[in-house]
């Protein structure tokens, strides 16, 4: 185990983070003594920094000192002025391209998935029942419990039944310019790869989100859509849902796993409850796994606009062409305006938990966040809930909120998600399995039966990023194959489907 008390990322950094709590007066190394107690993951000044001087971590200016900082001081979120966000104009592109044969070799190049007629393969075989309006959610949830109890045991090849409910569909400005975002999300979720092409949509009958807004005319049939107001009373309503569900289950039960190339797999990368170790251990390890997947032909998405905004120029350098660079800038600019209209800026992102975990501001958080994308070129940029058209690394623009980012990635078609955390979260998705990776061994020890993989040994020097990245890659394929079940699925810890809706509510 490394005896070093701090982790420094780049040679030019003038701060480092504490591997463990450091008591005031501790000699951290020759010539460096802690002036105050330094909590684990928080920053210690490696030299004197004058007022308005640059505070540098990851080789990047995190901010400017509000007052003089002495060598050995604890640096926290109250001590920095936020720098200007990088310009989106004329960003260089194609200057940091890592070719495919330079990426780490994947340990496996095939997996066992459920092929679909169109789009990527499924990692699960699920009956997905989607509502057009929140008003139908209560009925559907009760019906799904009955389906699980009375019908599902008869169809052993079906992994489960998912009620996709959401807070949209009525009381909304359905024709507002930005309404296309939630409508696109619901449309694409109906066709999720884990649902095997079987459509089952339940509406109330008086909502604004009518069937024709989420389905083509040929799919609006009595076999696929069910309107609650058409039925006289509770029993008739429930019988109709049960009968439709059984017909879908009969078809889904004929699905079988087949050996497929990695090009049939879509994986999402997300982080939440981050700390200052996230960018040292968990996210770089996930990024290594992402590089292995991309080299093998898979599609990997990363997201969260405010958590890449301060590193956008680094991402632009990984775009192969001007069009992809311009799409990246377009999504960043849209979100800048969205935040400005709400009266905030990107630094509204960090949470109290992020700050307790040593993250001073959004710049520091972003530098750690983008590490989960690995090093491969960005081949496409998506708007929220849009489906990819290419294989490789994709930037899928979404809010950074865990519970909104996840559903956006699901709508984009991920078969599973890898979720990095420093502080810990029981987050999960019922449509796509979620693998939890933590940044500190203390987190794994505390939540030993909630966290799937710890990257903490990277921070202590006991393992390399490649070691843990290989572990993550193996678990991704094991979960995709249905051989392993992450803890969030074992316990049924599944968050609600929070659809991103920037359009007005009436």
**pLDDT tens profile 464-482:** 999 999 999 999 999 999 9
Q: What does the pLDDT read at residue 291?
A: 98
Q: Average pLDDT of 303-320?
A: 97
Residue by residue, DSSP assigns 247-292 as HHHHHHTT---EEEEGGG-EEEEEE-S--TTTTTTHHHHHHHHHHH
Counting beta carbons within 10 angstroms of the beta carbon of residue 484, is it exposed (0 to 12), middle (13 to 18) or buried (19 or more)?
A: middle
Q: What does the pLDDT read at residue 2?
A: 45
**pLDDT tens profile 253-283:** 999 999 999 999 999 999 999 999 999 999 9
What is the assigned CATH class of domain 126-252?
alpha beta
Is residue 172 predicted with pLDDT exceeding 70?
Answer: yes
Q: Average pLDDT of 375-395?
A: 98
| Residues contacting 60, CB < 8 A, separation 6+ | 310, 311, 363, 367
* Mean pLDDT taken over the chain: 96
Q: Average pLDDT of 226-235?
A: 98
Q: Average pLDDT of 176-197?
A: 97
Reported as a pLDDT band with limits 50, 70 and 90, residue 4 is confident
Q: Average pLDDT of 198-204?
A: 98
Q: Are 121 and 264 in contact (CB under 8 A)?
A: yes
Q: Write the DSSP symbol of residue 115.
A: -
Fold observed for domain 6-81: 2.30.130
Domain ranges of the chain: 6-81, 100-106+259-491, 126-252
Is residue 1 predicted with pLDDT exceeding 50?
Answer: no
The tokens describing 167, both together, are 């807070």
Is residue 3 predicted with pLDDT exceeding 70?
Answer: no
Sign of the alpha-carbon dihedral angle for 434, 440, 445, 446: negative
Percent pLDDT > 70 in the chain is: 99
H/E element, 246: helix 234-252
Query: What is the C-alpha to C-alpha distance for residues 358 and 6, in angstroms, rounded to an integer?
Result: 13
Query: What is the C-alpha to C-alpha distance for residues 219 and 105, in angstroms, rounded to an integer?
Result: 42
Give the Å distances, CA to CA, from 276 to 106, 124, 169, 352, 361.
Answer: 28, 34, 39, 13, 11
Q: Are 37 and 43 in contact (CB under 8 A)?
A: no
Label residues 97-121 b or e (16+ Cβ within 10 Å = b): eeeeeebbebeeebbbbbbbeebbb
Residue 82 burial (CB count, 10 A): 16
SS3 label, residue 102: helix
Q: What does the pLDDT read at residue 490?
A: 97
Q: What does the pLDDT read at residue 151?
A: 98
Strand partners, 18: 6
Angle between helices 465-480 and 282-295 (to 10 degrees): 60
User: For residue 385, how many C-alpha atoms fall within 13 Å in the half-sphere facing its CB?
Assistant: 25
Query: What is the C-alpha to C-alpha distance for residues 485 and 483, in angstroms, rounded to an integer?
Result: 7
Query: What is the C-alpha to C-alpha distance for residues 345 and 141, in angstroms, rounded to an integer?
Result: 38
Q: What does the pLDDT read at residue 158?
A: 98
């Amino acid at each position: 185990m490394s005896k070093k008390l701090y982790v420094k990322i780049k040679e030019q950094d003038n701060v480092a983070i504490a591997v463990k709590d450091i008591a005031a007066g501790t000699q951290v190394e020759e010539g460096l003594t802690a002036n105050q107690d330094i909590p684990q993951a928080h920053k210690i000044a490696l030299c004197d920094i004058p007022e308005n001087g640059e505070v540098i971590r990851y080789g990047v200016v995190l901010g400017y000192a509000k007052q003089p900082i002495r060598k050995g001081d604890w640096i926290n979120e109250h001590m920095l002025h936020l720098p200007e966000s990088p310009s989106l104009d004329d960003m260089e592109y194609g200057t940091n391209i890592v070719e495919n044969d330079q990426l780490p070799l994947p340990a496996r190049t095939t997996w066992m998935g459920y092929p679909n007629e169109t789009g990527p393969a499924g990692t699960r075989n699920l009956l997905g029942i989607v509502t057009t309006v929140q008003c139908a959610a209560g009925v559907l949830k009760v019906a799904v419990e009955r389906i699980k109890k009375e019908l599902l045991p008869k169809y052993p090849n079906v992994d489960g039944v998912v009620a996709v409910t959401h807070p949209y569909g009525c009381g909304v400005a359905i024709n507002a310019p930005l309404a296309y975002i939630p409508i696109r999300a619901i449309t694409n979720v109906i066709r999720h790869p884990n649902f095997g092409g079987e459509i089952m949509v339940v509406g109330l009958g008086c909502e604004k989100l009518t069937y024709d807004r989420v389905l083509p005319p040929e799919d609006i049939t009595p076999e696929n859509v069910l309107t609650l107001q058409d039925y006289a009373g509770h029993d008739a309503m429930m019988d109709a849902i049960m009968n439709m569900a059984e017909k879908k289950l009969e078809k889904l039960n004929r699905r079988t796993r087949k050996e497929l190339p990695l090009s049939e797999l879509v994986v999402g990368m997300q982080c939440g409850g981050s700390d200052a170790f996230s960018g040292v251990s968990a996210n770089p390890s996930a990024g290594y796994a992402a590089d292995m997947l991309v080299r093998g032909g898979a599609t990997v998405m990363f997201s969260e606009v405010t958590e890449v905004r301060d590193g956008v120029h680094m991402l632009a350098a990984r775009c192969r062409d001007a069009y992809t660079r311009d799409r990246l800038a377009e999504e960043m600019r849209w979100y800048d305006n969205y935040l400005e209209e709400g009266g905030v800026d990107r630094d509204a992102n960090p949470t109290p938990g992020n700050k307790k975990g040593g993250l001073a501001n959004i710049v520091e958080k972003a530098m750690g966040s983008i590490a989960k994308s690995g090093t491969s070129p960005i081949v496409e940029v998506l708007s929220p809930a849009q489906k990819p058209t290419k294989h490789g690394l994709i930037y899928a623009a979404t809010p950074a909120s865990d519970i909104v980012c996840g559903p956006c990635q699901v709508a984009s078609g991920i078969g599973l998600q890898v979720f990095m955390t420093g502080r810990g979260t029981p987050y999960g998705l019922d449509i796509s399995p979620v693998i939890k990776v933590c940044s500190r061994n203390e987190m794994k020890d505390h939540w030993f039966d909630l966290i799937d993989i710890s990257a903490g040994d990277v921070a202590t020097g006991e393992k390399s990023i490649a070691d843990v990245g290989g572990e993550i890659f193996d678990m991704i394929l094991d979960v995709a194959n249905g051989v392993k079940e992450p803890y969030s699925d074992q316990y049924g810890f599944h968050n609600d489907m929070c659809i991103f809706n920037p359009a007005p509510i009436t």
